[in-house]
Structure 1
């Protein structure tokens, strides 16, 4: 009988036992450290303890419980096994809703309205037509493309940046290293939806912020490690960045004494932009476990070299 073990060093995964068990009653589902976990064939993971997967001799499949896998691939002892991810059909919709809210927050100058409210000041900001407000989306995969097209539907001027050529109707696309600076220069709100790779780690830094027009805004919903925190704080303090919404951080949960909580014109959200439901996770973990047991091709396999 196949055993599925749940592993994480930073996230309580116990609530996923029941949904996985309901989706695959023929399998055994256990938490890391419980009897039978060390001999499991399938590891369902989020931020697993370093070295833990390499100590599972019967392991045949490493299954992320989310779309991201960087928290798994960073383990230098990772076994050479298939790594799969969860693809929630509602994930792109949820992300698009969150980003659209952030763009509207800055476009309609609600950040200024809230600051004025705090000091009892009545001031009506000028309304700018969305066609005169440019949103730049970094990363044009499935989710980034959905976000870009939804923003276009709302009337915004939308541009995108990707590592290779893309075609999105109505979206001005820049590609590769040569296209990055021109992409940034014309952007009013920068949205990060990149995967985390060696090339994108730390990409939200002083150099990137300095190539934006003064006062541009940031919406960061990619990966925490994209962000150079000290550079973000400096850009907000100097006014090079006029504001930011940050949903993902290099360290989570964000410590209570972190200066980001008190940075000027920064909204901190608790990694909530879009989260797969426990039912979806359970069904997809069960689906791949069954395919593994039957010797069938796995779903949503990650290209380990590319990192996504």
Structure 2
């Protein structure tokens, strides 16, 4: 649905002349009243029933002229529906979302190149998140630790803190429940990224936590780190249920960035659609002809002269 308003492209002249206009109008109204009082003392004047309306016309005319010299613009506001990945890319800065990134820091994540793979994937994801987006960067093992919450543009300073955490156990369900508690109070559409080897051995059922997030309108994306066989059962079941699980193992840097780009934009579009925010407001400005203002001002002035008092 389109909305229509009128704005002034150059209101400065009107603002400058406004005090003078008001003072002049007050003088005119006072003069009219004085003339009427004088005429009432004669036989030549009787106040018409529409006299007050004529005074209103007199007052409106100068304000219409002020609007006319301020370059009035017709503003048409409409919503552009975002329905494709390309549209998300084009309007990403106007479509802020909230990303919750959960990185597993249990002992198994420090075997081989797992933690390096997780960090490389994180950097690739961040590359395609917009500066207008927000992020909650957290690490988890048996518990969840929030490292940063705020604009994506500032998160890189906190990434080195990730490797300072190393704890026993892996409680993916606990981490997801924590993410749900934050997502429930966020005013923005929220997406959760989980970077883990999937070797869950502590806390609640991660599948139930994923289901709860999904029912709450929060997409959950799993990044499978490494090849720990203990994560096979969890990730296989997630895939069977239709959730997104991505394995970046063996990908070149360019390939990893390509995967990360798709994940960021696809999940963003999904989260926006779920929350009914997959649109941007567009404003179109069209100059109004001065005649549209001057013509009614002239007509009102002519009508207001019926009594001949001004």
What range is the shorter-chain TM-score in? under 0.3
Which protein is bigger by CA-based radius of gyration? 2
TM-score by length of 2: 0.26
Query: Comparing both structures, which one devotes a greater share of its residues to helix?
Result: 2
TM-score by length of 1: 0.27
